[in-house]
Amino acid sequence: MALLAPALAATAGPGAQGALAQVLPHDDPPTASAGPEQSYARLPLSFVRDGGTFTARTAAGTVTLRHGEAVVVPQHGERTGTPVVMGLAGAAQVAPQVQQRLPGVLNDLRGDDPSAWRTDVPTFGRVRYAEVYPGVDLDYHGTTGTLEYDFRLAPGADPDRIAVDFHGAALRLTRTGALVVGTGADRIRQAAPVAFQPSPDGRDAVPARFTLDGDRVGFSLGAHDPSRALVIDPLVLSYATLLGGAGDDRVADIAVDATGAAYLSGWTDSDAFPTTGGAYDTSRSGLDAIVTKLNPAGTALVYSTLLGGSGTDFADTVAVDSSGSAYVAGQTQSIGSAPSRFPTTAGAYTTASGDAGFGDAFVTRLNPAGNGLTYSAVFGGSDQEEVRAIALDPSGAAYAGGYTASTGNASTTFPSSPGAYQLTPRGTSRDGFVVKLDASGARAYATYLGGQSQDEVNGIDVDPQGHAYVTGFAYGSTSDTFPTTSATRFAPVEDNGVDAYLSRLSADGSTLEYSTGIGTDGNGSANNGSDFGYAVAVGPSEGTAYITGTSLTGSGPNGDFPLKHPYEGRNGSCCYGQDLFVAEFDTTRSGDASLVYSTLIGGGGAEGGTAIDVDSTGAAYVGGVVASESQPGDPYDTTPDELGGGAGRGRAFVTKVVQSGSGNAGLGFSTTLQGTSYLDGLGGLVYDETAGAVHVGGTSRSGSLLTTPGAFQTAGAGDRDGFAATVTVGTTPPDTTAPDTTITSGPAAGSTLTGASVSFGFSATESSTFECAYDGGGFAACGTPSPGLSGSDTRTLANGSHTFAVRARDAAANADPTPATRTFTVAVAVPPPPAPPADTTPPDTVITQAPPARVRVKRKATVSVGFTSTEPGSRFTCRVDGGPAQPCVSGAAFRLGRGQHTITVTAVDAAGNADPAPASVRVTVKKKRPRPGAGGGGRG
């Protein structure tokens, strides 16, 4: 049964990002059959456990399960609605059980005290209350913004026992049988119930309808078989998503890793900002920076991390390395003492702030799980600093570009590094800066970049050799121009306005290798002659770079934007002729030859480019904001109705700019994102060449972004909401639907086998290869190597309990996320062990004590012999002079007469093996010589 709160968006996994909206080129609306969109409908509701309470919080409300009740609190912008409490009359009080662990986790890294951080907070997709009535289980779960409560009845259970109380809420039934709970903006609608009985062929429908008795709801069922299980499950409407809570929530940038997972950075001031599981921790202190990772399919959040301190914190930009570590940067105003300040790490660059309350720049590297800091640096001077863009080189070094207003005396200025290109500020307003941090967060170099007026770095990229390319804007005149290299400037020399620029630094930051301004003649006007660079991307050829931004073109003879091989060069008719510009440079050349092409693109209103990426062919993908009305030839075919009227309104766009064979710039495609009117900005753009898709992220105030079925949130909950979208640029949408796997033959669940050989058969819902696992081990290929609809696997297993699992993987590499499993026991009778092999090795006999070789006695001598064997437990036989062998023991005595004698000792082991080479000793017995003078006298 599903309980739907108004626009109540299901939080999936960690964080606040919704499923990616799919937008096709040329404004073709997405269709329900588009491949990736179908997976978004499986986005589950996430619960976070606190003791016996489970809570899911989203941008539009909170769902709490406690004491056997479900409490839904709607959220309407900044107003909290009337809670709706649902309970069961006469139900048993039972402890809840979690049924489904979700992959997403929540991380809260706010403050500079790691002991107070909360990481890897788990989320759950299903909670069960078993036996609330005899034979009746109650399951809470949800998808695409719905809270569902399903009654699952065992055979023989009585459905008439079920009684749902909505405490203090007005109830009514519609003509279609739907249940409406509450009134006004707080009302919750449940579609008419659906009941069925599972069967081998699927499910057998059972007629069902709601019944009302005051504030109590029951169910009236039609004919069914009471001896079979029964499920009561009403249907509901689903909806899609933006990212945001009740306040100001923005997506500033987006990055994509090699797997296609998206990383979004931004900030929030919403109490209801949808973190993983929702209710674990929605407390905040000022604006908090956010970093959210979505899985490649956009169907689940991998993690969402809040980052900041007690003040205001912005995550302006994000990049990701090959290990999946996200690097985020921006500005923090959480300055002070621990634990309320922005989190930092030992050894990172200049973590001690000199800020007087305006804000410092920060660069933070998260670990791949998003639940800890590899490093975090905060740096600045006495005034304001902010990182506007970040880029990474292959070694993991981070390049941060932004601006500093700390241009006072040496003790309070931005901390540059010895040997850097520009050690001190040239003006008293703002200067740009570039900072390089190595993979550990230590400073490699830090340099100012600016003239004597206001200059800022807005975009940065880096080539494989470590050259940093930056763009931004610079106020200039003949006396305080932005630094350029010799004979390279595409802007009027006497420019009193603002110019965009492109600059390239050497790998060690010591040299300005290329720098040029590009723009129009300001003629002293505050509105005309202003050109702003916002984003830069390194091209596929060495030394090439592309920039985009906004040009407020002038009208005089020297005021036109410098065009070369342009697509379009006309000015608009409003907003001071504001058009976006795109330009390609070859920084290995100088002068005019270094400008490959430059073009303006726009309609009759205002356009601006805010993000850019480049593919391997040199085509540029540009994103930004357009506020032009439709006119012939306008690539942004918008209308006043779509714009909604009013100053500052616009729509996000994505445009592909290519060079034709003649060298002129042209449009590969151009599209606006439907429903993004009243847009604040498109912050980030990444082109995925493998997928043929452009990923974008930004901020909308319209609340009407065209989203896809099953997305996280369809309507903006506050003043501003972040959004993410994927624009497919002429390729077939990837297959993200995994096959289902079924075990078709083999041991029954719980069975005991008397044979060690086990065979299973299995099948898939589409042509697939199969992977098997036994007893929790890793999955490995099984069945036949070629794809098919079925397969089999045979193994020989040891005695004991075993679990077999099999999953299908389709041609698009989608693996069944819920493999089929079977648990069984092998109990094969064990035969007695074979007799040990017969012992045929004889022992060796060793004499340990031998008698003297010669013995003199009067008549007979008694001698003893000591002996042993190389095999313990052996017995011995002894013989004298070839006589019969007699049993003997070591130390045996032998009485010998006069003459030569041989004593032979033979060891015999327990197996009866006798030493074939017995040990022997020889003894000679002689008559004892009389002593001199002794005897019977002599002759007389």
The reported pLDDT for the residue numbered 77 is: 53
Residues 6+ apart with CB under 8 A from 59: 7, 9, 16, 75, 242, 243, 244, 245, 246, 270, 272, 273, 274, 713, 717, 718, 721
**pLDDT tens digits for 397-440?**
999 999 988 876 655 678 889 999 998 888 777 889 999 999 99
What region, left, alpha or beta, does residue 88 occupy, with left being phi > 0 and alpha being psi -120 to 50 degrees?
beta
- Which run of H or E residues covers position 262? strand 262-268
Nearest to 538 by CA among 472, 605, 613: 613
Least confident of 85-99, 669-683, 829-843: 669-683
pLDDT at 20: 28
- The answer to whether position 263 is within a domain reads no
Q: What is the number of domains present in the chain?
A: 3
pLDDT of residue 651: 74
Q: Are residues 99 and 218 in the same domain?
A: yes
Residue 631 vs residue 497, higher pLDDT: 497
Higher pLDDT, 644 or 179: 179
Q: Which of 202, 217, 232 is the last residue of a domain?
A: 232
Report yes or no: 331 and 360 within 8 Å, Cβ to Cβ: yes
User: What confidence score (pLDDT) does residue 824 get?
Assistant: 96
Residue 365: is its pLDDT beyond 50? yes
CATH, residue 745: 2.60.40.650
Same domain, 788 and 878: no
Cα(292)–Cα(284) distance, integer angstroms: 17
Of the candidates 372, 504, 364, 384, the one whose C-alpha atom is nearest the C-alpha of residue 454 is 384
Residues in CB range of 845: below 8 A, 6 or more apart? 867, 868, 869, 876, 905, 906, 907, 915, 917, 918, 919
Q: Which of 232, 250, 273 is the C-terminal boundary of a domain?
A: 232
DSSP code, position 59: T
Report d(CA 683, CA 915) in Å as an integer: 94
For residue 40, what is the enclosing H or E element? helix 35-40
554 pLDDT higher than 80: no
The answer to whether the pTM exceeds 0.85 is no
Joined tokens for residue 794? 């045979």
Bigger pLDDT: 669 or 723?
A: 669
Nearest Cα to Cα of residue 652 among 733, 734, 727, 731: 727
Residue 378 domain-assigned (yes or no): no
Q: Which amino acid is at 410?
A: A
Question: Residue 897's domain is classified under what CATH number?
Answer: 2.60.40.10
Q: How many angstroms separate the CA atoms of 348 and 435, rounded?
A: 13
Structure tokens at 644: 């909604």
CB-CB contact of 398 with 319 (8 Å): yes
User: How many CB atoms neighbour CB 203 within 10 A?
Assistant: 12
Together in a domain, 777 and 887: no
CB 34 within 8 A of CB 173: no
- Could you tell me if 742 and 718 are in contact, meaning their C-beta atoms sit under 8 angstroms apart? no
User: In angstroms, rounded to a whole number, what is the distance separating the alpha carbons of residues 612 and 562?
Assistant: 20
Percentages of the chain per state (helix, strand, coil), in multiples of 5: 5, 45, 50
Task: Tell me the residue type at 181.
Answer: V
Domain membership of residue 760 (yes or no) is: yes
**Averaged pLDDT, 766-780:** 92
Mean pLDDT is lowest, of 190-199, 664-673, 801-810, 905-914, for: 664-673
Alpha-carbon distance of 494 to 136, in angstroms, equals 83
Rounded-to-integer distance, Cα 644 and Cα 750, Å: 64
Contact 125/296 with Cβ under 8 angstroms?
no
Sheet of 21-23, strands arranged across:
21-23, 721-728, 693-700, 679-688
Whole-number Å distance between alpha carbons of 115 and 834? 61
Distance CA 602, CA 628 (A): 7
pLDDT for the residue numbered 933: 63
Same domain, 122 and 202: yes
**In-domain check, residue 379:** no
Instruction: Name the token pair of 196.
Output: 């069925």
| Of the candidate ranges 35-44, 297-306, 604-613, the one whose mean pLDDT is the lowest | 35-44
Q: Which pLDDT does position 777 carry in this prediction?
A: 93
- pLDDT confidence of residue 145: 53
Cα–Cα distance, 798 to 755 (Å, whole number): 10
Of residues 918 and 45, the one with the higher pLDDT is 918
Q: Which helix (H) or strand (E) holds 51?
A: none
Q: Look at residue 157 and tell me whether its pLDDT is greater than 80.
A: yes
- Give the pLDDT confidence score for residue 572 in this predicted structure: 44
pLDDT band at 502 (very low <50, low <70, confident <90, very high): very high
Q: Is 706 a residue whose pLDDT tops 60? A: no
CA distance 637 to 26: 9
SS3 of 877-915: the string is EEEECCCCCEEECCCEEEEECCEEEEEEEEEECCCCCEC
pLDDT digits (tens, 9 = 90+) for 170-225: 898 988 888 888 766 667 778 788 899 988 888 899 999 999 988 899 999 999 99
Cis peptide leading into residue 30 (ω within 30°): no
What backbone phi and psi angles, to 5 degrees, belong to 643?
-75, -25
Mean pLDDT of 661-669: 70
Two structure tokens written together for 211: 């019944």
Query: What integer pLDDT is reported at residue 24 of this predicted model?
Result: 28
What pLDDT is recorded for position 803?
96
pLDDT computed for residue 794 by the predictor? 95
* Radius of gyration, CA atoms only, the chain: 42
Do 849 and 773 have their domain in common? no
From 901, 911, 770, select the one nearest 835 (Cα to Cα): 911
Residues 716, 21: contact at Cβ < 8 Å?
no
871 in Cβ contact with 846 (< 8 Å): no
Two tokens, residue 80:
């909290």
Residues 916 and 799 in one domain: no
Within a domain: 371: no
Mean pLDDT over 841-855 rounds to 90
What pLDDT is attached to residue 775? 96
Q: Which of left, alpha, beta for 599 (phi over 0: left; psi -120 to 50: alpha)?
A: beta
SS3 string of 698-746? EEECCCCCCCCCCCCCCCCCCCEEEEEEEEECCCCCCCCCCCCEEEEEC
Whether 800 is in a domain gets the answer: yes
Q: What was the pLDDT predicted at 569?
A: 47
Dig out the tokens for 54 from the structure.
């489970």
397 within 8 A of 435, measured Cβ to Cβ: no
Question: In whole angstroms, what separates CA 499 from the centre of its chain?
Answer: 39
Q: Are residues 805 and 903 in the same domain?
A: no
What pLDDT does 571 receive?
Answer: 44
Collapsing DSSP states into helix, strand and coil, what is residue 629?
coil
Tell the residue number behind the tokens 């520009």, with chain if given: 422
Average pLDDT over residues 847-868: 88
The average pLDDT across 376-381 equals 89
Looking at the fold, whether 200 and 90 belong to one and the same domain comes out as: yes
pLDDT for residue 18 is more than 90: no
Tell me if 565 sits within 8 A of 664, measured CB to CB. Answer: yes
CA-wise closest residue to 91 among 126, 53, 138, 50: 138
Structure tokens at 421: 């290109």
Note whether 68 and 204 are same-domain residues: yes
* Domain that residue 890 falls in: 845-927
Question: Cα(849)–Cα(892) distance, rounded to whole angstroms?
Answer: 10
Q: Three-state DSSP class for 795?
A: strand
What's the pLDDT at 383?
A: 83
pLDDT of residue 322: 93
Name which of 333, 294, 298, 287 is nearest 720 in CA terms.
Answer: 287
Of residues 4 and 753, more confidence is placed in 753
Tens-digit pLDDT profile for residues 89-125: 999 999 999 888 888 777 778 888 888 888 888 888 8
Query: What pLDDT is stored for residue 781 in this prediction?
Result: 92
Token pair 């098919």: residue: 788
Domain shared by 855 and 813, yes or no: no
Report percent pLDDT > 90 for the chain.
34
824 versus 556: the higher-pLDDT residue is 824
Decide if 718 is inside a domain: no
How much is the pLDDT for 83?
Answer: 83
Distance CA 300, CA 41 (A): 11
Phi-psi map region of 359: left, alpha, beta (phi>0 left; psi -120 to 50 alpha): left
> Of 663 and 140, which is predicted with more confidence?
140
Classify each residue of 88-97 as buried b or exposed e, where b means 16 or more C-beta atoms within 10 Å of its C-beta. Answer: beebeeeebe
756 is a domain residue: yes
Out of 168, 200, 232, pick the residue that ends a domain.
Answer: 232
CA–CA separation, 22 and 729 (whole Å): 11
| Whether residue 2 has pLDDT greater than 90 | no
CA atoms within 13 A on the CB side of 196: 13
Q: Are residues 186 and 218 in the same domain?
A: yes
Task: Judge whether residue 756 has pLDDT over 80.
Answer: yes
pLDDT tens-digit profile of 885-917? 999 999 999 998 889 999 999 999 999 999 999
Q: Say which residues have a Cβ less than 8 Å from residue 842's Cβ, sequence separation at least 6.
A: 907, 909, 913, 914, 915, 916
pLDDT band at residue 472 under the 50/70/90 scheme: very high
| Residues 818 and 858 reside in one and the same domain | no
CA 495, 499, 502 angle in degrees (round to 5)? 130
Candidates 388, 436, 384; CA nearest to 683 is 388
DSSP E strand boundaries for 269-325: 288-294, 301-308, 313-320
Angle at CA of residue 799, ends 796 and 803, nearest 5° = 70
Q: How confident is the model at residue 506 (pLDDT cuts 50, 70, 90)?
A: very high
- Single-letter residue type at 634: D
Mean pLDDT of the chain: 77
pLDDT per residue as tens digits for the range 52-71:
888 876 545 678 888 888 88
Residues 6+ apart with CB under 8 A from 767: 787, 788, 789, 810, 811
